Each structure stands twice: as structure tokens, then as C-alpha cells.
Amino acid sequence: MAKTLVFGHQNPDTDTIASAIGASYLLNTLYDQDTEAVALGTVNDETKFALDKFGVAAPRVIETADTEDVYLVDHNEAAQSVANIAEVNVLGIYDHHKFDFKSSAPLYIINKPWGSVATILFFEFKTANVAIPAEIAGLLASAVISDTLLLKSPTTTAMDKEALAGLAAAAGLDDVEAYGLALLKAGTDLSKKSEKELIDGDAKSFEIGGHTFRIGQVNTVDIDEVLTRQAALETEIKAEMAAEGYDNFLFVITDILNSNSKALYIGAETAAVEKAFDKSLTDNVIDLPGVVSRKKQVVPPLNAAF
């Protein structure tokens, strides 16, 4: 019989990949499930750095789920999930996002407003007294670092700090700061990426005020270097909006060293976008000082502005 699939969101990031692997291990060990961690896309450079460091193979990539039952990690909204999500039965969800989920039967949901799903899993392992294998602890530590930008993002909670310390210890990671910076930098070499790869990587779809918003984000150590490619980025964004039917596209470029962002916006809702961030768009670019978290600092103000 095919194993029950465990997967995170499309355009997988480190938290989605690490959480799928961690949750699958927890479910198999603690709850006698027969699950397999899979991914809805190839891993990004940052995640590959973490997988290589801890000697774990990247999960198999799937387009549709071929099992009746699945577990979701790091997402709950259908738009971010596998193509045939409406046809499968969700047995459980480990997530840390806003919620928009409908089931026809009772299920397991553990959703907590913490910095990463890896943090939630760390405490699930701890509560259940299940030891975390070193390589999985290393991946989960990488996920906490990735989602909280080394505990500097405003999404960071006290639980994330405790989890990262515990996971680093279990992984035998002596210098978390040095490893964390190397991990984050591994995800910021954008020079080899096409414009399409830049706008697609980590992009998610949102329904905001009745409009479709596609919101992408890249991490960098030099925002202006990314913006030298603005014209080509806009061409690619417009082509994708036309092809996919997105009304709005917001491409957030985040300086992970200084915790600031600028965003490139294409769409007709300029007034609402300016209102959301209390800044003016200049040549389609809006300055977002102090913004690093899409979930906490981009989506909620947009929701509020509509």
C-alpha cells in the first residue's frame, strides 16, 4: 500500500521541507503511521545547503497526491497545496499561518502562531518524549533559522528561541550563529537565477479583499542589486499575471542583514497598497522599512487596507 503523504506548500522553503520530514518521522514513530515526506517542488538553494550539511536526501517531488489520506505541514489553504487537494482526505495539519480550511470530518490540527512549524514539532517531540534524530534536528534547526532569520524576524517567539537551542544541541550544532548566517547566505545568491525563478521562488497566492494577490519574496544582502533587474522582472511578472490570472503581484525584496524590504508592485490597487504600508509607490516600488515577514508585516496590512 502506498504510504500516506506528508507535504508542505508549493514553492517549498526550508521550513516546509524540514517540517514534512520531521512530521513524517514523528507520525511514524509516535502514532504508528506509515507516512512519506514529499515536496510540491524542487528544494531551493538554502534548503539544499541544509540537506547537504546534515546528509539528508531531498524529498521526492509530487504534482498530485496519489494516496487517499494526506497530512499537511506549513500550510492549510487549498491555493498553496497540492493540485488535487479537494479530492484527498486531510488527516492532520501542523501549521503556523492564518487559517482558511474546510473539512467534512473531524481531523487533527495543531496550529500555533510561532515562528516556524519546526518549533511546533520540536515541542510535539518533547511532549511525547520522542528523541529527535540528529539529522532531523539539524534540518528543523535550519527551518527555525530560515523562518525567523536567525531569531531576528518579528515573527520570532520565546518558543522559537527555546526550540532552536534544543534542536542545535540535538543536532550537535556548536556555532548556531555561524551556521545560520551561512545558511541564509546560501539562499541569497540571486545572480544565477532567471527573473522567472526570482518571482516564482517562495511566491504564494492570497485572496485579499476579493482580489487575487500573488506575493513573492526573495532574501538578499543587496536590495538595489536586485532592482537593477526591475524592467526584466516587471516583464516577467506581467506575463505571469496574464498567464495565471493574478490581479495583483507584490514582489518583496528583503535585506536579511539589515531587516528592511522594498517591494515591486504590479496591479490596479495602488491606492490600497499605499494605504496598507503608509508609503508612496515610486516607479512601482514601495519602501518597506523594518519589514521582513510576509505573514506578519505584509499580508495583515493589505487585509486591513481593503
Q: Which residues bind a second copy (CB under 8 A)?
A: 96-113, 127, 295-296, 300, 303
Least distance CB 91 / a second copy (angstroms) = 9
Identify which of residues 103 and 280 has a Cβ nearer to a second copy in the complex.
103
Least distance CB 195 / a second copy (angstroms) = 31
In angstroms, the Cα distances linking 277 to 34, 162, 253, 257, 304 are 46, 32, 15, 21, 10
Q: Which of 281, 234, 238 is nearest to 262 (CA)?
A: 281
- Give the type of residue at 124: E
Q: Which run of H or E residues covers position 7?
A: strand 4-7
Q: Which run of H or E residues covers position 243?
A: helix 230-244
In angstroms, the Cα distances linking 62 to 9, 38, 45, 163, 170 are 12, 7, 19, 30, 30
Identify which of residues 29 and 111 has a Cβ nearer to a second copy in the complex.
111
Q: Name the residue with cell 487517499.
A: 68
Half-sphere exposure for 271 (CA within 13 Å, toward CB): 1
Cell of 37: 515526506
Least distance CB 95 / a second copy (angstroms) = 8
Identify which of residues 229 and 300 has a Cβ nearer to a second copy in the complex.
300
Mutual orientation of helices 134-148 and 158-171 as an angle, nearest 10°?
Answer: 150
What three-state secondary structure class fits 263? strand
Least distance CB 187 / a second copy (angstroms) = 23
In angstroms, the Cα distances linking 263 to 122, 219, 227, 234 are 33, 12, 10, 12
Least distance CB 251 / a second copy (angstroms) = 22
Least distance CB 294 / a second copy (angstroms) = 12
Q: Name the residue with cell 551561512.
A: 182
Identify which of residues 127 and 282 has a Cβ nearer to a second copy in the complex.
127
Identify which of residues 1 and 158 has a Cβ nearer to a second copy in the complex.
158
Find out whether 251 and 262 touch, Cβ atoms under 8 Å: no
Least distance CB 57 / a second copy (angstroms) = 31
Identify which of residues 77 and 234 has a Cβ nearer to a second copy in the complex.
77
Q: Which of 99, 93, 298 is nearest to 203 (CA)?
A: 298
Find out whether 300 and 291 touch, Cβ atoms under 8 Å: no
Identify which of residues 79 and 227 has a Cβ nearer to a second copy in the complex.
79
- Give the type of residue at 146: S
Least distance CB 76 / a second copy (angstroms) = 9
Identify which of residues 108 and 289 has a Cβ nearer to a second copy in the complex.
108
